[in-house]
């Protein structure tokens, strides 16, 4: 079975690649591609992809579209790009009938700005129900049996780093220092949510973030304060029967373990 992987140059897509290779897939079995759609961090992604291509002698196809303009332009306060994963998946069907969206445990943690009814605003297109709907629609429109799924949904980002360090320690170091996980033009701004999650997984695996980050994580930044407040608030009101319960708990625990590690091992402090 051939599998397509939207390869953004980020940590999650790199993990998907290593996990599939670990389970017996060869490079000939995998169709790697990236989509340049006007994202503000496109240059950082391109640099990461180039380095990974050279290091592992990979073929990564590039598709270019013009998705963003002044009416649809993400920023650090609202980085949402509606239905972005649907666009990613669409290009994947040119390479195979199975498209691997890289969505680890915790990615489907809901998002809610206080006073607004937009709990699922940032996760509508990266959850199991969305993947099933994408599969159904693309199958109906192409006359093929298209499957969209995440192969890495069993572990959090932090747990995947642990797995990489245990199985591919040299690769883990390279991937950590190469992949993009930031919403700014320069990697590791320390002020956005992707920086927070990457910081969490490094702290919890006894890796000093300052060796990789351009700036220290700023717990007073709008995006990071909002992320922490959001998790604390939703953890208090979420029921076990809610669809996103497991993802919310996983991300909530991932954050708290990292903050606890910061205080106990590194003597650091943080403010909510």
233-253 residue pLDDT tens = 888 888 888 777 888 899 999
Q: Calculate ∠ Cα 198-201-207, nearest 5°.
A: 100
**Sign of the alpha-carbon dihedral angle for 108, 115, 252, 212:** positive
Mean pLDDT (whole number) for 20-43: 92
User: How many whole angstroms from its chain centre is CA 144?
Assistant: 28
Q: Could you tell me which of 96, 194, 79 has the C-alpha nearest to residue 149?
A: 96
Q: Phi, psi at residue 98, to the nearest 5°? A: -120, 125
Over range 105-113, report the average pLDDT.
71
Query: Which pLDDT does position 271 carry in this prediction?
Result: 45
Give DSSP secondary structure letters for the chain.
--EEEE--SSHHHHHHHHHHHHTT--GGGEEEEEEES--TTHHHHHHHHHHHHHHHT--EEEEE----BTTB---SS----TTHHHHHHHHHTTT-SEEE----TTTT--B--TTSS-TBTTTTTSSHHHHHHHHHHHHHHHTS--EEE-TTTTS-HHHHHHHHHHH-HHHHHHHHHHS---SSSSS--SSSHHHHHHHHHHHTTT--GGGT-SS---TTSHHHHHHHHHHHHHHHH--TTSTTHHHHHHHHHHHHHHHHHHHHHS------
Does 218 score more than 50 pLDDT? yes
Which has more confidence, 50 or 261? 50
Mean pLDDT over the full length of the chain:
86
Does residue 19 contact residue 47 with C-beta atoms inside 8 Å? no
Percentage of residues of the chain with pLDDT beyond 70: 85
Q: Which of the two residues, 134 and 234, has the higher pLDDT score?
A: 134
Residue 77 banded pLDDT, cuts 50, 70, 90: low
Least confident of 67-81, 94-108, 137-151, 161-175: 67-81
CB-based contacts of 247, cutoff 8 Å, min separation 6: 105, 106, 107, 108, 109, 127
Give the model's pLDDT for residue 117: 52
Q: What is the mean pLDDT of residues 129-150?
A: 95
Across 36-56, average pLDDT: 89
Question: Cα 209 to the chain's mean position, in Å?
Answer: 18
Flag whether pLDDT at 185 surpasses 90.
no
Give the pLDDT of residue 122.
53
Q: Where are the domains of the chain?
A: 3-109+121-149, 157-265
pLDDT band at 262 (very low <50, low <70, confident <90, very high): confident
Task: Find the mean pLDDT for residues 62-73.
Answer: 78
Q: Looking at 17-21, 69-73, 145-149, 201-205, which range is the least confident one?
A: 69-73
Residue 220, judged by CB atoms within 10 A of its CB (0-12, 13-18, 19+), counts as exposed
pTM greater than 0.85 (yes/no)? yes
Return the structure tokens found at 205: 């695996």
Residue with the larger pLDDT of the pair 182 and 105: 105
Q: In CATH, which superfamily holds the domain spanning 3-109+121-149? A: HUPs (3.40.50.620)
């Amino acid at each position: 079975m051939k599998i397509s992987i939207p390869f953004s140059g980020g940590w999650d897509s790199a993990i998907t690649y290593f996990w599939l290779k670990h389970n017996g897939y060869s490079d000939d079995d995998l169709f790697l591609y990236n989509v340049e759609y006007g994202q503000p961090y496109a240059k950082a992604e391109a640099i990461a992809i180039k380095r990974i291509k050279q290091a592992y002698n990979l073929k990564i196809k590039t598709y270019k579209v013009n998705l963003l303009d002044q009416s649809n332009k993400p920023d650090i306060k609202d980085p949402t790009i509606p239905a972005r994963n649907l666009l990613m998946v669409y290009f994947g069907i040119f390479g195979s009938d199975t498209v691997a969206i890289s969505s680890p445990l915790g990615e489907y943690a809901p998002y809610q700005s206080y006073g607004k009814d937009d709990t699922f605003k940032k996760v509508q297109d990266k959850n199991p129900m969305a993947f099933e709907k994408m599969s159904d629609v693309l199958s109906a429109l192409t006359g093929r049996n298209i499957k969209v799924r995440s192969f890495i949904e069993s572990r959090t980002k932090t747990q995947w780093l642990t797995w990489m360090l245990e199985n591919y320690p040299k690769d883990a170091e390279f991937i950590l220092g190469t992949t993009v996980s930031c919403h700014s033009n320069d990697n590791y701004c320390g002020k956005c949510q992707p920086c927070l999650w990457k910081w969490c997984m490094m702290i919890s695996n006894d890796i000093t973030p300052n060796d990789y980050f351009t700036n220290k994580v700023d717990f007073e930044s709008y995006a990071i304060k909002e992320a922490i407040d959001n998790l604390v608030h939703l953890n208090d009101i979420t029921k076990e029967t809610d669809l996103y319960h497991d993802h919310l708990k996983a991300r909530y625990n991932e954050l708290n373990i990292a903050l606890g590690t910061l205080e106990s091992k590194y003597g650091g402090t943080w403010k909510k």
